Chain A
Amino acid sequence: MSNGTKPSEEQLKYASVLQIVSLSGLGILILGFLVYVFGLLPNIVPVNKIPEYWGLRVHEFVEHTGMPTGWKWVPLLGHGDMVSFLGIVLLAAATVVCMFAVLPTFLKKKDTAYVVIVLIQIIVLALAASGMIAGGH
C-alpha cells in the first residue's frame, strides 16, 4: 500500500478499537446466550415462558413479564437473561467507544470540523443509550 492509499491514522485507530470491542461483544453475546438457555443462572422470566409473550407489543410484554427496561438490568446481572443482554449492550456501545478513541487524534491534528462532528455524535449516542430519548408507550 503506497503512502497515498494508506488509511489515515484515525481511520486505523478506529478499525483497531472496533475490532476489539465488536469481537468481545460477539463473544460475550454467544456465551451469555448459552448461560441463559442452559439455565446456568436463574432467569427473571423463565425462558420457556417467553414464547407465550413474544407475540405481544413490547410495552405489553414488559407489563406481563416485569422484564426491566432502560438500565434497570444492571443490578440484576446475576440472572441468566440479563447476562445474555450484556453482549447486546456491548455491541450497541462499540461505536461510542470508537468515537472516544479517535477524538484525541482529531484534536492533535487540530481538525476542528471533525472534532465537532465526533463530539456531537458521542452526545447523540449517549442520549440514545441513556434512555432519556425513548418512544413508544
Chain B
Amino acid sequence: MSRSWRVFLSVLIVVTATLLLSDISFCEEAKEVAEKGSSLAWWMWPIILFIFTFLLGILAVVAGVGGGVLFVPIVSSFFPFNLDFVRGAGLLVALSGALSAGPGLLRRGLANLRLALPMALIASTCSIFGAMVGLALPTNVVQTALGATIIGIVIIMATAKRSDFPEVKKADALSSALKISGIYFEESQGKEIDWKIHRTPLGLLLFTLIGFMAGMFGLGAGWANVPVLNLLLGAPLKISVATSVFLLSITDTAAAWVYVNKGAVLPLIAVPSVAGMMLGTRIGVKILAKAKPKAVKWIVVSFLFLAGLRALLKGLGIWG
C-alpha cells in the first residue's frame, strides 16, 4: 500500500475511533434540539451525515464489511435521530447499493436469478414481519436486540470460514426440481466452474430468520446471506457474494415499503446517507484496487463490536 493511502486510512480510522470511543456523539445536540432548538443550522445536518456516511462507505469496502450493517449501529450511536428513522434510512442505504450493483452482477453471471428468487421470496416475506415487529416494539427493546445482534454478527464475521469452491456431491431434490445450478468463468483459474447446491430446505428455513432480522433492524444481510449460500448450500464463494448482494435488493425492498408507509423514511436523513455511502463505496473500491489492508477489516469489525456493545448497553439503560 502506498504511503499516502496508509496515512489516509490511518487518519480515517483514528477519527472514527475517537468519535466512537469518546462520547462526542451528536446526542448532546439532540437534547439541545429538543429543549431549546439546535445551535446547528438545519442544513449542517445533511452535510455532516453525507461526510460521515462517505467515510463509512470507504471503510466498509476496504474492510469488506457491508455498508448496511455498519450504518444502523454507528449512525444510531452518533446522531440524534430516533432509531426508527435510522433503520428506515439503513434499509434505503442497503437497498440502493444492491440495486446499483445488481445489473452488473446479473449480466456477468455471478449473481444467479434462479438461486436468488426462492430465497428472496422467503426472506422478503419475513422481512415485512420483521419491520412490523421492529416498529411496534419499544425503542429500548429494539436497541437491546440490535446490540445483541451486532455482537452476534461480529462473532460470525470473526469465526465463519469461507470456501471458494465447496464440494457438493449431489444436488438435493428441491434444487434439482428448481434447476438451481450454473456455470461461471473463474478468472483466477482460467476455466469454467460448474456448480450446484444442496441442503436447500434448510437454507430456505434460515432465510426466514435472515429476512426477519433484516426487516427488524434495517440491516443489510450480507453477513448472513453469504455463509448460508456458501457454506450451507455449497455455492461457490463468488456466486454466493454476488447473489447475496442481489438478494438484498429484494429482501430490503419488502421491508422498506413498511417503513415508507409508516413515514419512517425521512429524505433529510436517507438521501444524504445514500449519496454519501454510494460515493464512499466507489472511492473505497479504488483504494481496494491498490491495496488489501487486512488489518483494516479487524479494526472496523472492532468498531462494529463497540457500536453493538454501546447499542446493547444503551438499550439496557446502562450507557447513554
Contacts and interface: CB of A to CB of B under 8 A. Distances in A.
Interface residues of B, number: 76
Interface stretch (B66-74, B256-264, B282-290, B311-319): B256-264
Interface string B231-270: 0000000000000000001100111111011111111111
Contacts of A25: 99
Interface in A37-61: 37, 47-48, 50-52, 54-59, 61
B109 A134 contact: no
B133 A135 contact: yes
B131 interface: yes
Given A7-B106, A11-B112, A71-B261, 10 more contacts: A15-B103, A22-B103, A37-B43, A55-B81, A69-B262, A114-B178, A124-B254, A128-B128, A128-B254, A129-B261
- Chain A interface mostly helix, strand, loop or mixed? helix
Contacts, number: 206
Contacts of A32: 267
Contact of A33 (B128, B184, B267): B267
Q: Which of B80, B254, B261 has the most CB of A within 10 A?
A: B261
A12 to B, nearest CB: 7
B226 interface: no
Nearest to B31: A55
A114 B114 contact: yes
A30 B33 contact: no
B8 interface: no
A121 B99 contact: no
A75 interface: no
A4 B124 contact: no
Given A51-B45, A121-B121, A33 B271 contact: yes
Given A26-B100, A88-B92, A50 B266 contact: yes
